[in-house]
Amino acid sequence: MVLTVNGEQRRVENVTTVAELLIGLGLDPRAVVVEQNRRIVRRIEHAGTPVHEGDAIELVHFVGGG
């Protein structure tokens, strides 16, 4: 399926939920804010939130530092 991730089209395979998308992208769900089609998806909802062809996903990855 094709999604738009941070403004770029991406083809993903075997992804049905937000949690699977994050794993496939190698991102730690504890350090990412997910917006799906202009709606924030809470971390507790990642495993139960389906992704669909054409969804627009925005990911903000937090980086620690000093």
Give the pLDDT confidence of 8-35 residue by residue, as tens digits.
999 999 999 999 999 999 999 999 999 9
- Are 54 and 63 in contact, with CB atoms under 8 Å apart? no
Residue among 38, 29, 28 at smallest CA distance from 58? 38
Structural domains of the chain ordered from first start: 2-61 (3.10.20.30)
Give the Cα separation of 41 and 66 in Å (integer).
28
Instruction: For 33-54, write each residue's pLDDT tens digit.
Output: 999 999 999 999 999 999 999 9
Q: Is 47 helix (H, G, I), strand (E, B) or coil?
A: helix
Q: Give dist(CA 21, CA 36) in Å, integer.
A: 12
Mean pLDDT, residues 43-66: 91
